Structure 1
Amino acid sequence: MEDLKNLCEKVIKIAKDTGDFIKNQQNKIKADVIEKKGVHDFVTYVDKTAEKQIISALKQILPDAGFIAEEETESMLGEHYNWIIDPLDGTTNYIHGLSPFAVSIALQQENEIVIGVVYEISLSECFYSWKGANGSFLNGKPICVSSAKTVDSSLIATGFPYYDYNLLTKFMASLEHFIIHSHGVRRIGSAATDLVYVACGRFEAFYEYNLHAWDVAAGAFIVQKAGGLVCDFKGAKDYIFGKEIIATNLHVHQEFKEIVQKHMLN
């Protein structure tokens, strides 16, 4: 396989080209082309076409890799490498003419993420890193997590569950705590974007449950490469496939994790 930096640069181009397609299609989205995967889970021809474009382009640069992709237009797993793809993270925002919405692409080698690219389309912001890079980057410039020391001096991001509401009461209790004991809570509607905003210091912490690998794989890697910490609610490492994630800057991690655990695990 070629150098990871060169491979990452190719993935960035693929993400940006796909982002251009997605942006150009936004005004064409009408109610009759929106499908429901679940009660509040939507998909359009744009998601599916974008995923096909990404997969076709990625096959050209790493033919032996498999795919874990949200719309399942390709589901073959590779022996050593797998691309983890969300072609349009923030579809609900997208169909309502809101931002953010993003392309998220990660490369997993064995059980390790080695490339992460998140392209937030509306602001043309591309966040990325690769194994061996000295940090994470936004449009070519280094980024790092914030230096806030405590939760009460932090801006918190989360996402609202859109299926499996069994934990909703516990989640609302955690939300109440952070509303009272922080600079505020934001719910912007794209987990991939939430994560890279932690990476560049716009948010101090992010947590959410009922997520999938394609929502978090690239963004979590970018957070870690930017100096942040990522775990599941138990404090372990099952955040890519475990459907729950905490991502923070270095300083507030322990305090934030304990608050989430108090409300979500008890």
Structure 2
Amino acid sequence: MTDAIDEYFEVALELVKTAGNLIIEFRNGCKEFESKSSDIDLVTEIDKKVEETLIKGLSAIYPEHKFIGEESVADGAKCELTEEPTWIIDPVDGTLNFIHGYPSSCISLGLVINKESVAGIIYNPIVNQLFTAKKGKGAFLNDRQIHVSQVKEVRNALISFEAGTSRDEERQRTVLENFKMLVTKAQGVRAVGSAALNMAMVALGGSDAYFEFGIHAWDVAAGDIIVREAGGVCIDPAGGPFDILSRRVLCASSEELAQELAKMLHQYYPERD
């Protein structure tokens, strides 16, 4: 299986690099977009073209593989995860950043086999950041191996989180409660504007933990394996096992930090993918 994953990964990596050129063309912003679930949940033609490039390229070589793509699901495709090799795609994670020309958006591509993330690619072509990982092989930024920090306590942690794209009142209330708690308990807080890049920052050791409620499988599939291969952990924000379809994630540099943070968080349970 390892050899097969290596092969799948190399094919996918070339496609991701090619698709990245579509994003680079709009490094100064993309002014044509549409709203999806709310007026801050947006999509551009580039989102659609990147996803199409990846699905067409991979399915041409691996016709038996399955796909879960953000824009495909938005257009009515089912979000169904089986034991089969499944590519989970966020073509432009951080679309709002992309539209504004804020240089923190990326392609996120995760490979899940037997419902476990086994390879991941997070690529921000605008600033040439390529995060990669394969099961058992470590995590890398531009071919340099990376590791999580050694932080084990919230009081010493730089923690990433997001306001998100939902206008749901209960969710917004939870976000504000957690923000209020973290600015008094953590060393600092950050919001990159992309779930995948927040996870990549934990893998890099740049931040120590990240959590979010309301994300989707395509936001976290690649980040899950990259964080774990960098020595970190991914769990449910309430402290249990991570479930890629739960729309809930907490990743951290250590199990100790993850569990301490989980005990402090105000919880929110969105509808599953």
Q: Which TM-score applies when normalising by structure 1?
A: 0.91
Report deviation, 1:79: 6.4
CA shift for structure 1 position 87: 0.5
* Match status 1:255 vs 2:256: no
Report what 1:209 is aligned to. Answer: 213
1:151 aligns with 2:154: yes
Which segment drifts farther, 2-11 or 214-223?
Answer: 2-11
Is the 8 Å Cα contact of residues 109 and 121 (structure 2) preserved in structure 1? yes
Number of the residue aligned with 2:190: 186
Give the superposed CA RMSD: 2.1
Match of 2:65 in 1: 65
State the Cα distance separating 1:265 from its structure 2 match: 6.2
Alpha carbons of 1:74 and 1:105: their partners in 2 closer, same or farther (altered >3 Å)?
farther
- Cα distance in 2 between the residues matched to 1:74 and 1:3: 31
The code of the aligned residue for 1:256 comes to L
Shift of 1:28: 7.3
**Letter of the aligned partner of 2:53 in structure 1?**
Q
Residue 86 of structure 1 corresponds to 90
Spell out the pairing of 1:157-236 with structure 2 (5 A cutoff).
Answer: 157-163=160-166, 164-236=168-240
Of all paired residues, the percent bearing the same amino acid is 34
Aligned residues: 261
Aligned-partner Cα distance in 2 for 1:71–1:129: 24
Q: What is the CA deviation profile of residues 154-187 of structure 1, one whole-angstrom value per residue up to 9, with x for unaligned ones?
A: 1110011321231322321221121122221111
Deviation at 1:74, TM superposition (A): 9.3
1:234 counterpart SS class? coil
- Contact 2:238/2:267 (CA < 8 Å) preserved in 1? no
Contact 2:239 2:263 in 1 (8 A): no
Gaps of 5+ in 1: none
Q: Which runs of 4+ in 1 moved over 6 A?
A: 76-79
Residues 149/238 of structure 1: CA separation in 2 closer, same or farther (3 Å cut): closer
On the 8 A contact 2:27/2:126 being kept in 1, the answer is no
Tell me how far 1:21 sits from its aligned partner: 1.4
CA distance in 1, matches of 2:182, 2:68: 33
- In the alignment, is the contact (CA less than 8 A) between 1:8 and 1:129 conserved in 2? no
Q: Distance in 1 between matches of 2:115 and 2:227?
A: 18
**Residues 197 and 27 (structure 1), Cα distance of their counterparts in 2 relative to 1, 3 Å cut:** closer
Deviation string, structure 1 residues 65-97 (Cα, Å, up to 9, x no partner): 011000007948676111100000001000001
**TM-aligned CA deviation for residue 46 of structure 1:** 0.7
CA distance, structure 2, for counterparts of residue 200 and residue 132 of structure 1 = 17
- What are the ranges of 5 or more consecutive residues in structure 2 without an aligned counterpart? none
Give the distance between the partners of 1:208 and 1:10, measured in 2 at CA: 31
2:1 is the counterpart of 1:5: no
> Residue in 2 aligned with 1:49?
49
State the shift of 1:238 in Å.
4.2
Secondary structure at the aligned position of 2:26 is classed as helix
Closer/same/farther in 2, CA of residues 120 and 26 from structure 1, 3 Å limit: closer
Closer, same or farther in 2 for the Cα pair 1:128/1:36, shift >3 Å?
A: same
In 1, distance between residues paired with 2:29 and 2:192?
23
Match of 2:133 in 1: 129
